[in-house]
Chain A
Amino acid sequence: MGHALPPQPLDVDRLIDDRRTRIIVCCGSGGVGKTTTAAALGLRAAERGRNVVVLTVDPARRLAQSMGLTSLDNTPRLVPGVGPPAADTGQHATWQDGTARAGSLHAMMLDMKRTFDEIVEAHADPDRAAQILANPFYQSLSSGFSGTQEYMAMEKLGQLRRADEWDLIVVDTPPSRSALDFLDAPQRLGRFLDGRLLRLLVAPAKFGGRAGLRMLNAGFGVVTGIVTKILGGQMLKDVQTFVSAMDTMFGGFRERAEYTYRLLRAPGTAFLVIAAPEPDALREASYFVERLAQEGMPLAGLILNRVHRSPAAGLSAARSLAAAEMLQAAGSSSRPAPGRAAEGRAGQQNGSHALAIAALRLHAERMQLTASERRLAEHFTAAHPLVPVAEIPAQPDDVHDLAGLRAIGTAFGGE
């Protein structure tokens, strides 16, 4: 195997400066800094002149606070203190067509139950809506079913896109078992809601007579039997009431899921896969990259967060450790016999070397860490040589304010 080629650099600024980019989806496994990345990206785009809304699913209060908001809810809120493009960044004050580059940033947090309730309210008359909202099966579906959060995130994305009030939507995907759930769960839930099972549970006899399903006839009695046995009769009653009340909406769930799925493949959508230089996160990133390619969804690139670097990369881990060991050995051999005066001097002597020893050991560890991160990144690039990569250095402090988010944004710009 030859030496690994470096990946193409990912030009985040070019992506957000391109006004044809209307949706950016940030995906990746949990704990890689997805939400913070989405917020930093939104802020940078806003300060470069875009009208941005960030849709997050992460209830972390700290992030809301870092954007100057006490909390985030299901309605986009204007983030105060977002500046216009600074004159010294060399940015033009206007877009090419002459309009002013006056950006803004809104942020919101998905409330899946509220979003679901709103769909019901929009599609049913008040009486029927009230009936649905009070149904135990609906309540469980809208707040606890897995896939509901992903489905509603997609639904919200579709709503924001249709509202056309923002020219860039940055989406932070829900934390789920697998990053791929974001793509699969809405369709799975849509299939379930529109599918045979619910109808079967409601009216097995009628359903069993349908053409094309006769081959399964013999199994029907058994299946309804099992379902009733396993889940109990009360659930069936709730489902029946739910289905008859929702009748007008049936057939619509899968369609809605498919609408947003198509939106994700449309020009103007870009996916950013977020990862940290750790085996699990990069493995998930690989799955995602492969899946996006299969689905024909546009991948802009990989953002590799929390990358460690050293300003003294010329001093290798091995040499640094060897130097530390040498100092340590010299220190202990020159230690004089116990004695008050001598001890004071030895302490001084040892003290100065202690600093160098600690620094050299720390540097050796940093170099080892850098090397193992580099290996992981190279594995990814070897498998996906065409995926552009942006590396964001590890920040020593947690992000607490817009300045912190801005600092991450600066790293996107490769500065």
Chain B
Amino acid sequence: MQATPGAGRIGHTGMTCYVHADSLHCVGTRDTDWEGVRLHVVTGKGGTGKTTVAGALALALASGGKRILLIEVEGRQGIAQLFDVPPLPYEERKVAVAPATDGRPGGDVFALVAEAESALLEYLEMFYNLRHAGTALTKLGVMDFATTIAPGLRDVLLTGKAAEAVRRKESGSPVYDAVVMDAPPTGRIGRFLNVASEVSGVARAGPIRGHADTVQKVIRSPETAVHFVTVLEEMPVQETLDGIAELRGLGGGGIQIGWIMVNMTRQLELPEDQLRAAADGSLDAGELSVGLKAAGLEDSQVLATYLVAELVEQARTDAGQQVQRRRLDDVRQPCYELPMITDGMDLGGLYRLAAALRAQGAA
């Protein structure tokens, strides 16, 4: 486990504490425990690994005999790629099995590629018995308008699908223990989740408005939490801070902000003085060369200068990351750290990330 030693939950009722590298977070939770969250919305700037983290979270939540639905809303087929299965249709399909651990049984991850057009047809059929109106609607451009042009309509249809899956029951009990949504990037998350007010531009009354209000209730309930995936670089951290501020500023019941998932972390395992030396470029290549020679590597002097260059670069990156970490500390949200997978992201890597999330108490 490359996660920060000692990271994890040391909480007690009503108060949850998280420890990581250089700070202690104590975050008062609301009346509900995190356990009560059934819709996990995962957002993040492009390139931060949002889909991967959403997949790892679904796997982590599934362990212990749970049934989890992972929903993709941007039509990229990212989930299929991640779990190495053929492209997914508009249909809930099992894509992975969580491993049994520590005597706990495994669980199932299902996936759905939610798609606005199908959701609209489903909606029309459900409420107006109008499934066959589809062709006429497409010809007249209504379909285009509703699913790609009108602000908010598409989002209502997609978030509506997730809300429906959360509430769905079979013989009295929920079909899914939790739903994880691979949501749009941080720059669009506020608008995406603020459905009721976004559709007001085109629907101030009528059933779409009613539907939007229902979806809004689910999103603003304690059953929903929005998690931010970031890497420790300036722009993604800025977008995370902006996104959190935006959601906090929405008011009217508020949207619960969940975890900050710090992805692709990597730390140099060096004593403090050598870390400092690496960061200011005064690292002793001679000393390194002795070590390399002891390891039986030829050309140890030349090699040492190369490796010093790599250490210096990494130390500078680390120093920059510490600055970004402190900026994240200021928003006082629980943080989880996900190690950098350097040997290519595959199913094995995904299971490693899920294990890291579990070890830190995310599930």
**What's the nearest-Cβ distance from chain B to residue A72, in Å?**
16
Across the interface, do A312 and B310 meet the contact criterion of CB distance under 8 Å? yes
Majority secondary structure, B binding face: helix
Across the interface, do A398 and B234 meet the contact criterion of CB distance under 8 Å? yes
Across the interface, do A358 and B269 meet the contact criterion of CB distance under 8 Å? yes
Across the interface, do B303 and A312 meet the contact criterion of CB distance under 8 Å? yes
Across the interface, do B205 and A234 meet the contact criterion of CB distance under 8 Å? yes
Across the interface, do B140 and A398 meet the contact criterion of CB distance under 8 Å? no
Across the interface, do B287 and A226 meet the contact criterion of CB distance under 8 Å? no
Across the interface, do A30 and B185 meet the contact criterion of CB distance under 8 Å? yes
Across the interface, do A230 and B208 meet the contact criterion of CB distance under 8 Å? yes
Instruction: Report the interface size for chain B: residues with CB under 8 A from the other chain.
Output: 80
Across the interface, do A62 and B151 meet the contact criterion of CB distance under 8 Å? no
**What's the nearest-Cβ distance from chain B to residue A147, in Å?**
6
Say yes or no: is B184 at the interface (Cβ < 8 Å to chain A). Answer: yes
Across the interface, do B207 and A279 meet the contact criterion of CB distance under 8 Å? no
Query: Would you give the 0/1 interface string for B179-220, flagging 1 where the beta carbon is closer than 8 Å to chain A?
Result: 000001101000000000010011111111100000000000
Query: Would you give the 0/1 interface string for B128-158, flagging 1 where the beta carbon is closer than 8 Å to chain A?
Result: 1010010011011110110011111010000
Across the interface, do B270 and A354 meet the contact criterion of CB distance under 8 Å? yes
Interfacial residues of chain A within 171-212, with CB under 8 A of chain B in the complex: 175, 177-178, 185, 188-189, 191-192, 195-197, 200
Interface residue stretch chosen among A15-23, A244-252, A320-328 = A320-328
A175 in complex: contacting residue of B46, B154, B295, B307, CB < 8 Å: B46
**What's the nearest-Cβ distance from chain B to residue A356, in Å?**
3
Say yes or no: is B174 at the interface (Cβ < 8 Å to chain A). Answer: no
A12–B24 Cα gap in the complex (Å)? 48
Say yes or no: is B106 at the interface (Cβ < 8 Å to chain A). Answer: no
Across the interface, do B145 and A280 meet the contact criterion of CB distance under 8 Å? no
Across the interface, do B297 and A30 meet the contact criterion of CB distance under 8 Å? no
A197 in complex: contacting residue of B145, B268, B303, B340, CB < 8 Å: B145
Across the interface, do A363 and B47 meet the contact criterion of CB distance under 8 Å? no
Across the interface, do B268 and A235 meet the contact criterion of CB distance under 8 Å? no
Across the interface, do B269 and A311 meet the contact criterion of CB distance under 8 Å? no
Say yes or no: is A315 at the interface (Cβ < 8 Å to chain B). Answer: yes
Say yes or no: is A278 at the interface (Cβ < 8 Å to chain B). Answer: yes
A62–B239 Cα gap in the complex (Å)? 12
Given contacts A140-B202, A147-B149, A197-B142, are A31 and B184 in contact (CB under 8 A)? Answer: no
Give every chain B residue within 8 A of A234 (Cβ-Cβ).
Answer: 204-205
A–B Cβ pairs within 8 angstroms, 13 of them:
A146-B148, A146-B149, A231-B208, A232-B205, A232-B208, A311-B306, A311-B310, A324-B295, A358-B268, A362-B307, A362-B314, A372-B342, A396-B320
Give every chain A residue within 8 A of B283 (Cβ-Cβ).
Answer: 355
**16 other A-B residue contacts (CB within 8 Å) besides A147-B148, A185-B148:** A60-B238, A140-B151, A144-B198, A177-B184, A195-B141, A231-B202, A280-B78, A281-B47, A312-B303, A354-B269, A356-B294, A357-B269, A359-B288, A366-B342, A372-B342, A398-B233
Across the interface, do B206 and A229 meet the contact criterion of CB distance under 8 Å? yes
Across the interface, do A216 and B139 meet the contact criterion of CB distance under 8 Å? yes
Chain B residue nearest to A367 (CB atoms) is: B342
Say yes or no: is A375 at the interface (Cβ < 8 Å to chain B). Answer: yes
Say yes or no: is B124 at the interface (Cβ < 8 Å to chain A). Answer: yes
B316 in complex: contacting residue of A30, A356, A397, CB < 8 Å: A397
A315 in complex: contacting residue of B142, B204, B269, B303, CB < 8 Å: B303
Name the residue among A189, A197, A326, A355 with the largest chain B CB count within 10 angstroms: A355
Across the interface, do A358 and B144 meet the contact criterion of CB distance under 8 Å? no
Across the interface, do A356 and B266 meet the contact criterion of CB distance under 8 Å? no
Interfacial residues of chain B within 114-131, with CB under 8 A of chain A in the complex: 124, 128, 130
A255–B316 Cα gap in the complex (Å)? 52
Give every chain A residue within 8 A of B74 (Cβ-Cβ).
Answer: 177-178
B151 in complex: contacting residue of A144, A200, A311, CB < 8 Å: A144
Across the interface, do A31 and B47 meet the contact criterion of CB distance under 8 Å? yes
B268 in complex: contacting residue of A30, A327, A362, A372, CB < 8 Å: A362
A372–B340 Cα gap in the complex (Å)? 13
Given contacts A315-B297, A356-B294, are A226 and B128 in contact (CB under 8 A)? Answer: yes
Say yes or no: is A276 at the interface (Cβ < 8 Å to chain B). Answer: yes
**What's the nearest-Cβ distance from chain A to residue B348, in Å?**
13
Name the residue among A31, A369, A372 with the largest chain B CB count within 10 angstroms: A31
A31 in complex: contacting residue of B45, B295, B296, B308, CB < 8 Å: B45
A231 in complex: contacting residue of B76, B148, B206, B271, CB < 8 Å: B206
Given contacts A177-B74, A222-B136, A227-B142, are A368 and B274 in contact (CB under 8 A)? Answer: no
Say yes or no: is B75 at the interface (Cβ < 8 Å to chain A). Answer: yes
A191–B48 Cα gap in the complex (Å)? 35
Give every chain A residue within 8 A of B233 (Cβ-Cβ).
Answer: 398
Across the interface, do A323 and B203 meet the contact criterion of CB distance under 8 Å? no
Binding site for B on A (CB under 8 A): 29-32, 60, 62, 136-137, 139-140, 144-147, 175, 177-178, 185, 188-189, 191-192, 195-197, 200, 216, 219, 222-223, 226-235, 276, 278-281, 283, 310-312, 315, 319, 323-324, 326-327, 330, 351-363, 365-366, 368-369, 371-372, 375, 396-398
A223–B47 Cα gap in the complex (Å)? 42
Given contacts A230-B208, A372-B342, are A311 and B294 in contact (CB under 8 A)? Answer: no
Given contacts A352-B291, A359-B307, A397-B316, are A178 and B269 in contact (CB under 8 A)? Answer: no
**What's the nearest-Cβ distance from chain A to residue B339, in Å?**
11
Across the interface, do A62 and B235 meet the contact criterion of CB distance under 8 Å? yes
Give every chain A residue within 8 A of B124 (Cβ-Cβ).
Answer: 226
Give every chain A residue within 8 A of B284 (Cβ-Cβ).
Answer: 355
**What's the nearest-Cβ distance from chain A to residue B341, in Å?**
9
Say yes or no: is B51 at the interface (Cβ < 8 Å to chain A). Answer: yes
Give every chain B residue within 8 A of A226 (Cβ-Cβ).
Answer: 124, 128, 130, 133, 137, 142
**What's the nearest-Cβ distance from chain B to residue A335, in Å?**
15
A30–B201 Cα gap in the complex (Å)? 27
**What's the nearest-Cβ distance from chain A to residue B180, in Å?**
18
Give every chain B residue within 8 A of A358 (Cβ-Cβ).
Answer: 268-270, 274, 311
**What's the nearest-Cβ distance from chain B to residue A68, in Å?**
18
Chain A residue nearest to B78 (CB atoms) is: A280
**What's the nearest-Cβ distance from chain A to residue B86, in Å?**
15
Across the interface, do B310 and A397 meet the contact criterion of CB distance under 8 Å? no
B47 in complex: contacting residue of A278, A366, A368, A372, CB < 8 Å: A278
Give every chain B residue within 8 A of A30 (Cβ-Cβ).
Answer: 45-47, 185, 187
Name the residue among B206, B236, B269 with the largest chain A CB count within 10 angstroms: B206
B133 in complex: contacting residue of A219, A278, A355, CB < 8 Å: A219
